[in-house]
A and B are shown apart, each in its own frame.
Chain A
Amino acid sequence: MATQASRIAGRLMLSPAVLLLFLWMIVPLGMTIYFSFLRFNLLMPGTEEFTGFENYSYFFTDPAFWPALVNTLTLVLGVLVITVVGGIALAVLLDQPMWGQGIVRILVIAPFFVMPSVSALVWKNMLMNPVNGLFAALARALGLQPIDFFASAPLASITAIVAWQWLPFATLILFTAMQSLDREQMEAAEMDGAGPIWRFVHLTVPHLMRAMTVVVLIQTIFLLSVFAEILVTTNGGPGTASTTLTFLVYMQSMLQFDVGLGSAGGIVAVILANIVAIFLMRMIGKNLEA
């Protein structure tokens, strides 16, 4: 049905986007791969030389590497569990008849629009500060000892902040998916004497499965790159207690100017993200056919 002319016009219209994205992807990635095989420090210009896999072996034997990998996975998994479980609970709650549902929804999704540096600073100083923070005031009011969150549990504190930012996203998507739940089937099950828990496990959860998968995969992509929250609160510390892969690469390349080592770390992060991406792409690709 498309004429020859419109097909050519279509190609022309498509090519700038494709070309730009191709360059955006291939040039920096190619440079990162190239740098990762060089001894290359910005503080010592002119001393670049090819070193094979030396940077990779340095990166993997860096005492911060394993903690960073474990921290990354802990942060991602922690946030995923909190947001998916909390998101389902909230989606079910929001789906009930109530007064003022529109306002409740607006309040619940609000944290998603707060920029990471603001939420990190507000949580760090105004809520979690062991002296002047609101949690400390609450603890004292209850006769408890205030907790120094970022000193005693830095990674858990960051996980809490990030989960607060992403809970709205999970809720919104699961709630949207809830809307297409087959109400008649629900009612029929209710008529047949199925209790609310049976209905939740056998009807609601399977229906939300797909949305849950999307939430998990998309959040993982973003969570692997969490940066501002760590920079503003703990700077990766104390020690390596809250250093993630992203933050480790940032420190190596932007603070220690070790471009070679940072690039090797970047490639490791790319490979890690790709493993996740393959699953996500398959999900979305399937949807494209439907």
Chain B
Amino acid sequence: MAREASKGHKAAVTVLAWGVALLIFFPILWTFLTSFKTEGEAINSHPSFLFFEWTLENYETVNQRSDYLAHFWNSVVISVGSTVLGLIIAVPAAWSMAFVPGKRTKDILMWMLSTKMLPAVGVLVPIYLLARDAGLLDTKTGLVIVLTMVNLPIIVWMLYTYFKEIPGEILEAARMDGATLSSEILYVLTPMAVPGIASTLLLNVILAWNESFWTLNLTAASAAPLTAFIASYSSPEGLFYAKLSAASTMAIAPIMILGWFSQKQLVRGLTFGAVK
């Protein structure tokens, strides 16, 4: 009876929550709207919110002038490539720690996590020099390798927390029925593990897509993903608000849509399972 919140209370909460949410979302909305304005309209000292002449010319210009597609493709290759490579290394590791835990499993997990605590700037110089000497500077291959290693601990941890939830009795039952190790993995575990692997994939593509320390420091032009491409707008092109907005919208839209699907995994993945 006390829980029956009054209509009035609910209405007030709704108004307040929507107000705050729109305020937080506003910079993104504003960028989106500005991307459809002309340059003159974009810097109008009496900015118009919706009532301006909508145009698509900024998207055309950005695409033609700056190889947006090439950088977009770099982002896709680097984020998906590093995630898939990470999964190939991490799935067996997480599987074995979840189902055949040894005495040191916990220590290994904690140690993996500790490598994530190493600030990037502490290894900037060696990684830069190693990449340079291996001819991997400003290449997609180089960034795929670096981002795979950067995100590997998170991938292992996420998979581990998902695999942990698969009941071990199922495996025992399969073994009783004479399943071999390979058929156990293929027919029993894989179907149950797919949702966890998919979530891990999603979150790590997002993290790799937005990673901005290594992508900015290890690329110049040819392998630059969208993070570096947008950063090159800092001046003087950044003063062309409409084009900046169009480029920004295209850079964040794909990942934002993916992100909205992965809200729950986000909490779990980024807190290493400490909050579910």
B125 touches A113 (CB 8 A): no
Interface 1/0s, chain B 124-168, versus A by CB < 8 A?
Answer: 111111100000000000000000010011001000000000001
Q: Among A46-54, A56-64, A74-82, A171-179, which stretch is in contact with chain B?
A: A171-179
Give A63 Cβ to nearest chain B Cβ, in Å.
20
Chain A interface, >50% SS class:
helix
Q: Among B57-65, B191-199, B211-219, which stretch is in contact with chain A?
A: B211-219
- The reply to whether the CB of A273 lies closer than 8 angstroms to some CB of chain B is yes
B119 touches A224 (CB 8 A): yes
Give B190 Cβ to nearest chain A Cβ, in Å.
14
Chain A residues contacting B28 (CB-CB under 8 Å) are 110-111, 114
A100 touches B210 (CB 8 A): no
Give B181 Cβ to nearest chain A Cβ, in Å.
6
Cα distance, A113 to B153, chains bound together (Å): 21
Chain A residues contacting B3 (CB-CB under 8 Å) are 187
Contact of B96 among A14, A169, A273 (CB under 8 A): A14
A126 touches B259 (CB 8 A): no
B231 touches A228 (CB 8 A): yes
Chain A residues contacting B228 (CB-CB under 8 Å) are 117
A218 touches B270 (CB 8 A): yes
A115 touches B226 (CB 8 A): yes
A126 touches B121 (CB 8 A): no
B238 touches A284 (CB 8 A): no
- The reply to whether the CB of A2 lies closer than 8 angstroms to some CB of chain B is yes
Cα distance, A272 to B122, chains bound together (Å): 11
B47's closest neighbor in chain A, by CB?
A137
Cα distance, A103 to B241, chains bound together (Å): 28
- The reply to whether the CB of B260 lies closer than 8 angstroms to some CB of chain A is yes
State which size class the interface on B falls in. Answer: 35 or more
- The reply to whether the CB of B209 lies closer than 8 angstroms to some CB of chain A is yes
Contact of A97 among B10, B149, B172, B270 (CB under 8 A): B10
Chain B residues contacting A218 (CB-CB under 8 Å) are 270-271
B172's closest neighbor in chain A, by CB?
A1
Chain B residues contacting A276 (CB-CB under 8 Å) are 117
Chain B residues contacting A270 (CB-CB under 8 Å) are 118-119, 122
Chain A residues contacting B172 (CB-CB under 8 Å) are 1
Please tell me the number of chain A residues within 8 Å of chain B, measured between CB atoms: 109
Interface 1/0s, chain A 23-64, versus B by CB < 8 A?
Answer: 011011101100100000000000000000000000000000
- The reply to whether the CB of A245 lies closer than 8 angstroms to some CB of chain B is yes
Most interface-central of A121, A123, A280 (chain B CB within 10 A): A121
Contact of B5 among A97, A224, A272 (CB under 8 A): A97
Interface 1/0s, chain B 24-64, versus A by CB < 8 A?
Answer: 11011011001000000001011100000000000000000
Give A259 Cβ to nearest chain B Cβ, in Å.
5
- The reply to whether the CB of B274 lies closer than 8 angstroms to some CB of chain A is yes
- The reply to whether the CB of A13 lies closer than 8 angstroms to some CB of chain B is yes
- The reply to whether the CB of A85 lies closer than 8 angstroms to some CB of chain B is no
Chain A residues contacting B25 (CB-CB under 8 Å) are 107-108, 110-111
- The reply to whether the CB of A277 lies closer than 8 angstroms to some CB of chain B is yes
A222's closest neighbor in chain B, by CB?
B270
Cα distance, A28 to B129, chains bound together (Å): 10
B216 touches A227 (CB 8 A): yes
- The reply to whether the CB of B170 lies closer than 8 angstroms to some CB of chain A is no
Contact of B121 among A5, A191, A269 (CB under 8 A): A269
Cα distance, A118 to B210, chains bound together (Å): 10
Chain A residues contacting B95 (CB-CB under 8 Å) are 10, 13
A122 touches B31 (CB 8 A): yes
Contact of A225 among B34, B108, B119, B126 (CB under 8 A): B119
Contact of B24 among A111, A126, A140 (CB under 8 A): A111
Interface 1/0s, chain A 119-150, versus B by CB < 8 A?
Answer: 10111111100001010010011000000000
- Shortest beta-carbon contacts, A-B, top 10: A13-B92, A10-B100, A10-B96, A277-B117, A17-B93, A31-B126, A28-B123, A228-B212, A113-B259, A28-B126
* 24 A-B pairs (CB sep. < 8 Å): A1-B172, A10-B97, A11-B102, A25-B118, A32-B122, A96-B9, A104-B17, A108-B24, A109-B259, A111-B27, A115-B212, A115-B230, A115-B252, A117-B231, A119-B27, A123-B27, A249-B124, A262-B124, A262-B125, A266-B121, A266-B123, A274-B117, A287-B273, A288-B110
Q: A266-B125, A287-B273 are in contact. List 5 more A-B contacts (CB 8 A).
A: A21-B152, A107-B22, A113-B259, A249-B121, A273-B122
